[in-house]
């Protein structure tokens, strides 16, 4: 069969996780927590299953969960969201992103995205006949070059996809970024998708600035997030999309035929958990300790790095240590130092190799310490 996605193979997350398993290496590649979620949350799922909540949920999500998301948004961003009309529960952020892209993009439309870019955006754009327009983020902090963005916007631009806190760099958008974006899209038929799955993982003096907080951006935005990151449940695949009523209506037309609805007992469990637990408020401090522990150890490895501003990823530079490509080094470290990472070139369309690796520090302190010891004792040079 002639492929609709000829250049797409297995994702690097699957490739590196598989290699880590085969090599018996510590897996700091694919981004998922290495520890379990709260047993209370697990018990709530069992409770709702036993109570008989085992059939389809309403298409747009269980009302209790949508109310709980509205309440969380009220608490964290001090804004009002209409739970009935503006929130749709999805099967992970992946589904939310796919549905939003499909709802907006028509054949020939241009979609601006920033690279390094998370890998699920491009295939979704291409399956809708859209043309991805990649704009490189500016090294070393991976901030946005707004003059470059202005120069790429034209009559065909229909959508801009942003991601804050950013995977893989951890860059967190500033209020200037929001204002610049608002200036560019004002009075133009351009929509926005904001991937905010790391919304509750932001460090130091930084603050997560959702596109929802900016009135001009909010009216054009699909804001996508996930409970996978927030409650250590990446395997549950429960996410959501917040968008104005008219955009949510179009989003739901796609969601209705993509998955129709999301696991009922999981939605009810998360809804009840959100009512009584403000766990997401403690998440930044929890991960900041892990980032600090990891960065302290990294100082002895020879890698260069700047501590991540957000997300549960830490990038490192290695160009001064070896001429290997990032992919070669990631494989070599998995095989020889027994620590798996993600090469950054995979987040670039033309496999640009900035000579950087990404490590996931969402692991127990003991596992992080073991990984660091293995990286420190491994001779990177030569
Ligand atoms: N966006 C980004 C930036 C991610 O890192 C991830 C996955 N970790 C997703 C979307 C997908 O989220 P989910 O697992 O909820 O589908
Ligand atoms: N988002 C995760 C990461 O960046 C991976 C998710 C996946 O495996 N598709 O590592």
Per-residue pLDDT at 188: 97
Residue 133's pLDDT is 98
CB distance 163 to ligand 1 below 6 Å:
yes
Q: What pLDDT does 185 receive?
A: 98
Cα end-to-end span (Å), the chain: 46
Predicted pLDDT of residue 62:
98
- Predicted local confidence at residue 347, as pLDDT: 94
Residues 200/229, Cβ–Cβ less than 8 Å: yes
At residue 182, the pLDDT reads 98
**Does any ligand 1 atom lie closer than 6 A to the CB of residue 262?**
no
Ligand 1 centre distance from Cα of residue 373 (Å): 29
**So what's the pLDDT on residue 278?**
81
Bridge partners of 162, per DSSP, are 194
**Nearest alpha carbon to residue 313 among 91, 147, 191, 165:** 165
The torsion angles phi and psi of 56, rounded to 5 degrees, stand at: -50, 140
For ligand 1, what atom is nearest to the CA of residue 96? 16
Domains and CATH numbers, the chain: 12-30+282-380 (3.90.1150.10), 39-276 (3.40.640.10)
Q: Is the CB of 349 under 6 A from ligand 2?
A: no
Our CA angle for 296, 116, 309, nearest 5°, is 35
Residue 34 Cα to ligand 2 midpoint, Å, equals 13
Residues of the chain with pLDDT under 50: 382
The alpha carbon of residue 144 and the mean position of all alpha carbons in its chain are separated, in whole angstroms, by 17
Instruction: Ligand 1 pocket test: pick from 37, 118, 164, 262 the residue with the most ligand atoms within 8 Å of its Cβ.
Output: 118
Which atom of ligand 2 approaches the CA of 94 most closely? Answer: 9
Place of tokens 């804004």: 79
Average pLDDT of the chain is 96
* Contact of 290 with 362, CB cutoff 8 Å: yes
Residue 119 in contact with ligand 2 by CB distance below 6 A? no
The predicted structure's pLDDT at residue 381: 56
pLDDT of residue 276: 82
Q: Does an H or E element contain 47, and which?
A: helix 39-50
């Amino acid at each position: 069969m002639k492929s609709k996605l000829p250049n797409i193979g297995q994702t690097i997350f699957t490739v590196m996780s598989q290699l880590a398993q085969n090599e018996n290496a510590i897996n700091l590649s694919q981004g998922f927590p290495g520890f379990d979620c709260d047993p209370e949350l697990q018990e709530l799922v069992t409770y709702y299953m036993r109570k008989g909540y085992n059939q389809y949920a309403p298409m747009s999500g269980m009302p209790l969960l949508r109310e709980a998301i509205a309440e969380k948004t009220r608490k964290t961003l001090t804004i009002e969201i209409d739970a009935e009309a503006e929130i749709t529960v999805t099967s992970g952020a992946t589904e939310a992103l796919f549905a939003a892209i499909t709802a907006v993009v028509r054949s020939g439309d241009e979609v601006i995205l920033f690279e390094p870019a998370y890998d699920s955006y491009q295939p979704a754009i291409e399956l809708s006949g859209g043309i991805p327009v990649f704009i490189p983020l500016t090294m070393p902090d991976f901030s946005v070059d707004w003059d470059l963005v202005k120069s790429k916007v034209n009559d065909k631009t229909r959508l801009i996809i942003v991601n804050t806190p950013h995977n893989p760099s951890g860059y967190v958008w500033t209020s200037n970024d929001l204002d610049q974006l608002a200036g560019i899209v004002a009075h133009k038929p351009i929509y926005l998708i904001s991937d905010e799955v790391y919304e509750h993982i932001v460090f130091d003096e930084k603050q997560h600035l959702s596109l929802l907080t900016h009135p001009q951006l909010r009216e054009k935005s699909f804001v996508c997030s996930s409970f996978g990151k927030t409650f250590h449940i990446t395997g549950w695949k429960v996410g959501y999309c917040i968008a104005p009523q008219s955009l949510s209506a179009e989003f739901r037309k796609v969601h209705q035929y993509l998955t129709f609805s999301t696991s009922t007992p999981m939605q009810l469990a998360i809804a009840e958990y959100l009512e009584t637990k403000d766990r997401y408020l403690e998440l930044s401090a929890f991960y900041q300790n892990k980032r600090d522990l990891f960065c302290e150890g990294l100082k002895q490895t020879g890698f260069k790095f700047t501590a991540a501003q957000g997300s549960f990823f830490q990038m490192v530079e290695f160009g001064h240590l070896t001429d290997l490509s990032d992919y070669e080094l990631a494989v070599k470290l998995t095989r020889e130092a027994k620590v798996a990472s993600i090469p950054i070139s995979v987040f670039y369309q033309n496999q640009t190799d900035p000579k950087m690796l990404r490590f996931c520090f969402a692991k127990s302190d003991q596992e992080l310490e073991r990984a660091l010891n293995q990286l420190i004792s491994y001779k990177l040079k030569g």
